[in-house]
Chains A and B, each alone.
Chain A
Amino acid sequence: MQRTVFKSRWLPYLLVAPQVAVTVLFFFWPALKSLQLSLYRVSPFGDKSTFVGLENFTKLLADPDYYTSVLNSFLFAGGVTALSVVGALVLAGLATQKIRGLGVYRTLLLWPYGIAPAVAGIIFLFIFHPAYGILPYFLSFVTAYEFNWLLKGWVAMTLVIGATAWTHLGYNIAFYIAGLLAIPASVMEAADVDGAGPLRRFTAIVFPLVSPITFYLVVLNMVFAFFESFGVIDAVTKGGPGQATEIMVYKLYKDGFIGLNLGSSGAQSVILMAMVIGLTVLQFRFAERKVTYR
């Protein structure tokens, strides 16, 4: 890799300064403020604030609703990651064949990534709607079971997982296409000559060679599912029915902005941040060994 050499001593810092300013202003400073907020009990209008130490944290850890939201978050993130990464690999595999109209297919596959999560949520709401949705309509020919996501928690969870995974497919597919195209054709041909079937070729050659990409995407998808999935939940289920789709980031919003309990919301942000940092560190430590880099 070439190293860029700057003639002046202060120019590189000047060029990086805007981005650093943005990162500090929009990421570090709010994070620090959340940390500070989590140690206080604040009245909604900010006129009364009492230092309560770790009381917000202890209250959270004693609250069964909080554990429900943690469980939901893991379920949600796991579902989104599994569906989105596996689906992306399959679709990328299909999109690297030599067929006509490949460019069109690829564009259509990548397109949904540009849709705002809230919009994707609404689309899936209409597909899943118990009264006028297309999916329950077709399913009604097969079974009498009512897929009413307003009352059945697992249907609501499936809906939001599906909507979120669908939006993120495009991103994953882009990476996988690049990865699959980087596999030299000679290796695949040699394997074919040696009598390896498509499945064997996949497990022995393709999968290990795209494993760095898989690892990266799994980490990224999990972080995305924990932090940025707010839009879908807010647009569609609002944490319901009961608390079936109340993930950590949504509970944080509800307690802070609807319930105006800013101290608890701050504590929840801190815990969420710590969890995701921990997850990322853990994944880098473990998976680093299993990933085969060339």
Chain B
Amino acid sequence: MPQTRTCWWSAATALLLVAALLLAPGPAFAKTELQFWHAMTGQLGEAVNELVKQFNESQSEYEVKPLRKGTYAETLTAAIAAYRQRQAPHIVQVFEVGTQTMMLSGAVLPVFELMKEQEIAVDWKDFIAPVVGYYSKDGNLYSMPFNSSTPILYYNKDAFQKAGLDPNKPPQTWKQVEEYSKKLISSGATKCGFSTGWPSWVQVENMHALHDQPFASKRNGFDGLDVQLLINREFGVKHLGQLAAWQKDNIFSYGGRAGTADPKFLSGECGMYMQSSALIGGFTKGAKFKWGTGQLPQWGAPYKKATSIIGGATLWVMKGKPAVENRGTARFLKFISDTNQQMWWHVTTGYLAISNSAVKNLETAQHFKRNPDQFTAFAQLTKGAATPNSQGLRLGNFVQIRDVIESEMENIIAGKKSAKQGLDDAAARSNDILKEFAAANKQ
């Protein structure tokens, strides 16, 4: 009998708790939530949160929830896994090398279609050419440009001064890079001449584009899926062979993949550094010496000077969401591409301003005069010949391909393989990967 009484009491308490939860006061009309997955950390992550907050506070129907899912690769993997579970986020930030994978996935709602459906007018022509070129198919933008960068040259002005070089004249040719490096080392100003971040992106992809050399067949992959890499031709062999030779004299000092070589520049070990323009903000805070920027060095004749290609990421909209939520997504994307928001984003993060109006406004406000380093990237992207070889790259499984290229680059720089052998192997392995992608995406 006592047991039954305890039983009744427990049941009554449980019921009371449930009732309390159900009747608890909540928002009368909850905002529709939109999930936004991204890969920005540190100062950039804070900027994303701030931007999202601005949107959320500007209207009362939608609430965008930003969530950092890890690195770019981890964010993409998470989005794919979530999509397979039918729990995809609304917006996902995917890096430039994931473009082909996203475009052919059948899991995305192209941005131009979204805006058309939602009847939101966007001035597509206002976006800068390199960005539009990279992320469009048949003249329509598939993803919303968000954080675009391009690699530039950073150099240590204090070290230049110590070595007897003009601190306001960064090297413009590779011959000058060699010359300046030798002076930096012999004067004891630095231990090495220059290093690089993102070896494949900077030294292979961008170098080919800048010198008007094709990276892959079929117009760098834009014209079809049966693509082959062309990095093992004369230009590639010349450039990487030179890097390997320079490694021996410390003119070039390899520092690893992605951004692991950043400390080489920040510590003053190397006098020059080639990395994304998005590091301007970080260097401004972290560098303990005077530094400047310049465009990436060129070989000169017989190679024509073209433009570099963009890096960074864009925002993709996932398919399968109800119209009400798509409307919120569309409004958020329109908000971040507005001129004011773009200017704010550029000034805060150092990423490029991606619309011509934003650039014009910044010019009028003398922003570039006060921050000439911010203009370097923009100039490199737009003030050269725009050739078919410098529009960007569209390759499937590009993440894997970059990994293959960087691993063969390590073999070349370490002297284990000649530049020709290493590049031949990189091309062969990459072509296999491309074939696999084409087979898996037979259209």
* Residue contact B83 to A48, C-beta cutoff 8 Å: no
* Residue contact A241 to B264, C-beta cutoff 8 Å: no
Q: Which residues of B contact A257 (CB under 8 A)?
A: 73, 77
A132 to B264, CA, bound (A): 10
A261 to B120, CA, bound (A): 37
Query: At the interface, yes or no: B411 with Cβ under 8 Å from chain A?
Result: yes
Stretch among B99-107, B143-151, B224-232, B329-337 lining the A interface: B99-107
Of A45, A131, A151, A259, the contact of B399 (CB 8 Å cutoff): A259
Q: Which residues between 208 and 267 of chain A lie within 8 Å of chain B, taking CB atoms? A: 238-243, 254-255, 257-261
Query: At the interface, yes or no: A47 with Cβ under 8 Å from chain B?
Result: yes
Q: Which residues of A contact B440 (CB under 8 A)?
A: 41-43, 48, 50
CB distance from A267 to the nearest CB of B (A): 13
A238 to B73, CA, bound (A): 14
A241 to B264, CA, bound (A): 18
* Residue contact B106 to A254, C-beta cutoff 8 Å: no
Query: At the interface, yes or no: B263 with Cβ under 8 Å from chain A?
Result: yes
* Residue contact B101 to A260, C-beta cutoff 8 Å: yes
Which of chain B's residues has its CB closest to A263's CB?
Answer: B440
Stretch among B165-173, B251-259, B278-286, B366-374 lining the A interface: B251-259
Q: Which residues of B contact A153 (CB under 8 A)?
A: 414, 416
* Residue contact B411 to A45, C-beta cutoff 8 Å: no
Q: Which residues of A contact B77 (CB under 8 A)?
A: 257-258, 260
Query: At the interface, yes or no: B385 with Cβ under 8 Å from chain A?
Result: no
Of A48, A152, A243, A261, the contact of B436 (CB 8 Å cutoff): A261
Query: At the interface, yes or no: A278 with Cβ under 8 Å from chain B?
Result: no
A47 to B247, CA, bound (A): 46
Query: At the interface, yes or no: A30 with Cβ under 8 Å from chain B?
Result: no
Q: Which residues of B contact A243 (CB under 8 A)?
A: 407
Query: At the interface, yes or no: A12 with Cβ under 8 Å from chain B?
Result: no
* Residue contact A46 to B84, C-beta cutoff 8 Å: yes
Query: At the interface, yes or no: B96 with Cβ under 8 Å from chain A?
Result: no
Contact bitstring B98-119, A, C-beta under 8 A = 1, else 0: 0001000111000000000000
CB distance from B274 to the nearest CB of A (A): 17
* Residue contact B410 to A241, C-beta cutoff 8 Å: yes
Query: At the interface, yes or no: A53 with Cβ under 8 Å from chain B?
Result: no
Mostly, the A contact residues are loop
Of A132, A151, A240, A254, the contact of B400 (CB 8 Å cutoff): A254
Q: How many residues of B contact A (CB 8 A)?
A: 36
Q: Which residues of A contact B257 (CB under 8 A)?
A: 238, 240
Of B106, B247, B439, the contact of A45 (CB 8 Å cutoff): B106
Of B397, B411, B413, B441, the contact of A48 (CB 8 Å cutoff): B441
Of A238, A260, A261, the contact of B80 (CB 8 Å cutoff): A260
Which of chain B's residues has its CB closest to A254's CB?
Answer: B403
Q: Which residues between 37 and 77 of chain A lie within 8 Å of chain B, taking CB atoms? A: 41-48, 50, 65
Query: At the interface, yes or no: A204 with Cβ under 8 Å from chain B?
Result: no
* Residue contact B413 to A151, C-beta cutoff 8 Å: yes
Contact bitstring B307-350, A, C-beta under 8 A = 1, else 0: 00000000000000000000000000000000000000000000
A239 to B400, CA, bound (A): 13
Query: At the interface, yes or no: A274 with Cβ under 8 Å from chain B?
Result: no
On whether A242 and B263 interact (CB within 8 A), knowing A41-B439, A131-B269, A259-B400, the answer reads no
On whether A260 and B397 interact (CB within 8 A), knowing A131-B263, A243-B407, the answer reads yes
CB distance from A52 to the nearest CB of B (A): 9
* Residue contact A258 to B439, C-beta cutoff 8 Å: no
A41 to B441, CA, bound (A): 10
Q: Which residues of B contact A239 (CB under 8 A)?
A: 407
Q: Which residues between 20 and 44 of chain A lie within 8 Å of chain B, taking CB atoms? A: 41-44
Query: At the interface, yes or no: B267 with Cβ under 8 Å from chain A?
Result: yes
19 contacting pairs across A/B (C-beta < 8 A) = A41-B439, A43-B105, A45-B106, A46-B84, A47-B106, A65-B429, A131-B263, A150-B254, A151-B254, A238-B257, A239-B407, A241-B407, A241-B410, A241-B411, A242-B414, A257-B73, A260-B101, A260-B400, A261-B397
Residues of B within 8 A of A (CB): 73, 77, 80, 83-84, 101, 105-107, 247, 254-257, 263-264, 267, 269, 397, 399-400, 403, 406-408, 410-411, 413-414, 416, 429, 433, 436, 439-441
Interface contacts beyond A43-B440, A242-B410: sample of 19 additional A-B pairs, CB < 8 Å, sorted by A: A44-B80, A45-B80, A48-B106, A65-B429, A131-B269, A150-B254, A150-B255, A151-B410, A152-B414, A239-B407, A240-B257, A242-B416, A254-B403, A258-B399, A258-B403, A260-B101, A260-B397, A260-B399, A261-B436
The 4 tightest CB contacts between A and B, nearest first, are A259-B400, A241-B410, A151-B414, A45-B107
